[in-house]
Amino acid sequence: MNKEIIRDEALGEQYSVIHHSSGLDIYIWKMEGYQTTDAMFVTKYGSFNTTFRSAGEKDYTTVPEGIAHFLEHKLFENEDCTAIALYARTGADANAYTTFDHTAYLFSCSQNWDKSLEILLDFVQQPYFTQESIDKELGIIGQEIRMCLDSPDRMCFFNLLKALYSKHPIMIDVVGTEESIAKITPELLYSCYDRFYDLNNMFLAIAGNVDEDKVIEIADRLLRKCEDRKTETLIPEEPRDVAQKRIEDTFPIGLPLFSIGFKAPPFEGEERVKKNLACMVAMELMTGNLSPLYNSLLEQRLVNQTFGFDVMSRDGIFFASISGESTEPDKVYELCVAEIEKAKREGFDERHFEIIRKALYAAAIRELSSPEMVCSGLLANSAVAGVDAFCQIRALRDLTSEDCRLAVEQLLDAKYSAISIVNPKQ
C-alpha cells in the first residue's frame, strides 16, 4: 500500500489517494467540522461494456444489452437479505445506479459511517445469483424498461444518439430491452462480475466526517485481493460522419420535441475536461438564459422554457446537444447554426463570458462545502475520467473567451450535426 496527497494550493484543499494492496484505489477527503459522510464504491463497468476479453483470451465475449444494470440490481441482494435491510440498522441512506461507463453503489449517513462502510464493501464483494432470483427481477426491470419506452424525451435523446453514431455502443440503452435481458443467466452474471468487479477496475471514494486510519483498517480487513483481469472492452472505431442527418418518430404529446446534436472527435484525460468545459461555457454564452438567441427564440414563440443544452464526453465520444419543444424545430436548428457561425467569426463578449465563468467557478467552490458533491461530483467523476479532483476547478480558473471560441470552431460543425424530432401522434 502507498499513499499520495493531492493538494490545490489556491484552494487550500487536499485529499488522499491510497493505492491499496488489494488493487483498489481509495480516495479519502476528510472535511473538518462536518457531521455527514458520503461514500461510493464504483466499478468502471456500464452499458458500453458488452463486448470484452480479459488477459490471455484470444476471442471477445459479447453479452446481452442491459446486463450491467441488471447486475447492479441483483447485487443488492444476497442469500439472506438485501443491502437496504442492512443499511436500515445503521441509519444510512443507500442507493446505486448504472451509467454508460460505470456502476456506483453509495450511501450517505450522519452516524455509524464505519459500520455503513463495512456493509458497502462486504455486499458488493459477495455476488449471489440464482435462476429463481433472475426470473423475479425480469419482471421488475421489464416494467422499468416499459416506463422508459413511455418517455418521449428519452426517445428523442436515444434517437439522436442513433443519428450521430453508427458503431459506438453509446447507442445501447442502459436498461437494455425486454428481449435482451431475457437472455441473462446466473453464469453470465458471474462472468461479468468476475471480469469487471475486479478491485483493480474499481475505486472507493469517501468524503466528510471520516477518519483515514479507520477507512484503511476496514479496507485491510474486508477487501479481498484479486488477480488483475486486465479486461478490455471492444469499442469499434467510430466514423467522423454522422450516421444520418435526421430521424423522426411519433408519440402522444402536445408539442414536437427536438434534439440537435453536434458530433466531435473524442478526447481523453485533462484534455477532455478542458474541451468539455470550454464547450459548455460556449453553449451557455450562445443559447443560455442571458443569450440574445434564447430571448429571440422566446419572443418568436419558437421555443419555451424547456429549451436547453448539454455536452457529453465519454471514452470514444464527444457531442453537444440543444433540445426543447417547438412547432418549428427546423427553424430553431437554422437559427442555432447561424449563432454558432457568428461565434466562430466574432468570438464572445468578454463581460458576458466573465459573468458565466465566475458563476460556474463560484458554483464549483460551493460544492466543496457538500460531502455529497465532494464524493460524487469531484472524487468519483474525476476518478472515472482519469484526472485529479481539482482538474475542473483549475480549468475554470484558466479558461478564456478565446478557448470558448476555439471550442465552437473545433467542435460545433454543422457538417457533423443531426436532428432528432418526435412529432405528436395524430
pLDDT in tens, 105-114: 999 999 999 9
The pLDDT value recorded for residue 77 is 79
Say which of 13, 72, 77, 238 is annotated catalytic.
72
Q: Which of 398, 376, 260 minimizes the C-alpha distance to 328?
A: 260
For residue 76, is pLDDT > 90?
no
Cα 419 from Cα 259, distance rounded (Å): 6
Question: Quick one: pLDDT band at residue 256, thresholds 50, 70, 90?
Answer: very high
Q: Phi/psi at 307 (nearest 5 deg)?
A: -65, 130
Helix, strand or coil for residue 105? strand
- Residues 349-408 have pLDDT tens digits of 999 999 999 999 999 999 999 999 999 999 999 999 999 999 999 999 999 999 999 999
The pLDDT value recorded for residue 227 is 85
Per the CB < 8 A criterion, the answer to whether 8 and 396 are in contact is: no
The pLDDT value recorded for residue 269 is 95
- Residues 166-217 have pLDDT tens digits of 999 999 999 999 999 999 999 999 999 999 999 999 999 999 999 999 999 9
Domain assignment of residue 239, yes or no: no
How many other β-carbons are positioned within 10 Å of the β-carbon of residue 302? 18
- Any catalytic annotation for residue 372? no
How many other β-carbons are positioned within 10 Å of the β-carbon of residue 398? 10
For residue 95, is pLDDT > 90?
yes
Cα 87 from Cα 206, distance rounded (Å): 17
Question: Quick one: pLDDT band at residue 142, thresholds 50, 70, 90?
Answer: very high
Domain assignment of residue 217, yes or no: yes
Do 190 and 271 share a domain, yes or no?
no
Domain assignment of residue 238, yes or no: no
Which class for 362: exposed (0-12), middle (13-18), buried (19 or more C-beta within 10 A)? exposed
Cα 423 from Cα 258, distance rounded (Å): 9
The pLDDT value recorded for residue 420 is 98
Do 296 and 194 share a domain, yes or no?
no
Strands 202-208 vs 25-30: parallel, antiparallel or unpaired: parallel
Q: Across residues 127-141, what is the average pLDDT? A: 91
Q: Phi/psi at 172 (nearest 5 deg)?
A: -80, 125
Q: Which of 193, 75, 187, 97 minimizes the C-alpha distance to 144?
A: 97
Do 225 and 320 share a domain, yes or no?
no
Helix, strand or coil for residue 207? strand
Domain assignment of residue 124, yes or no: yes
Cα 215 from Cα 115, distance rounded (Å): 11
Question: Quick one: pLDDT band at residue 154, thresholds 50, 70, 90?
Answer: very high
Question: Quick one: pLDDT band at residue 41, thresholds 50, 70, 90?
Answer: very high
* Domains of the chain: total: 2
The pLDDT value recorded for residue 83 is 86
For residue 78, is pLDDT > 90?
no
Question: Quick one: pLDDT band at residue 64, thresholds 50, 70, 90?
Answer: very high
Q: Which of 399, 282, 275 minimizes the C-alpha distance to 348?
A: 282
As a whole number, the mean pLDDT across the chain is: 95
Concatenated DSSP letters of 366-422: HHTT-HHHIIIIIIIHHHHHTS-TTHHHHHHHH--HHHHHHHHHHH--GGGEEEEEE
Do 131 and 183 share a domain, yes or no?
yes
Cα 210 from Cα 225, distance rounded (Å): 24
The cell 454558432 sits on which residue? 340
Can you give the pTM of this predicted structure? 0.94
Do 382 and 268 share a domain, yes or no?
yes
For residue 380, what are the domain limits? Answer: 246-424
The pLDDT value recorded for residue 426 is 79
For residue 268, is pLDDT > 80?
yes
Do 153 and 260 share a domain, yes or no?
no
Question: Quick one: pLDDT band at residue 82, thresholds 50, 70, 90?
Answer: confident
Q: For residue 399, give the C-alpha cell.
A: 479558461
For residue 81, is pLDDT > 80?
no
Domain assignment of residue 241, yes or no: no
Helix, strand or coil for residue 313? strand
Do 228 and 311 share a domain, yes or no?
no
Which class for 361: exposed (0-12), middle (13-18), buried (19 or more C-beta within 10 A)? middle
Domain assignment of residue 195, yes or no: yes
For residue 1, is pLDDT > 90?
no
Cα 253 from Cα 150, distance rounded (Å): 11
Which class for 177: exposed (0-12), middle (13-18), buried (19 or more C-beta within 10 A)? middle
Do 194 and 257 share a domain, yes or no?
no
Domain assignment of residue 340, yes or no: yes
Domain assignment of residue 364, yes or no: yes
The half-sphere exposure of 226 on its side-chain side, counting CA atoms within 13 A, is 18
- Write down which residue in 233, 263, 279 finishes a domain: 233
The cell 471560441 sits on which residue? 405
CATH at 12: 3.30.830.10
Do 366 and 275 share a domain, yes or no?
yes
- Write down which residue in 233, 263, 288 finishes a domain: 233
Do 220 and 269 share a domain, yes or no?
no
Do 195 and 96 share a domain, yes or no?
yes
Per the CB < 8 A criterion, the answer to whether 102 and 43 are in contact is: yes
Do 204 and 276 share a domain, yes or no?
no
For residue 20, is pLDDT > 90?
yes
Helix, strand or coil for residue 48? coil
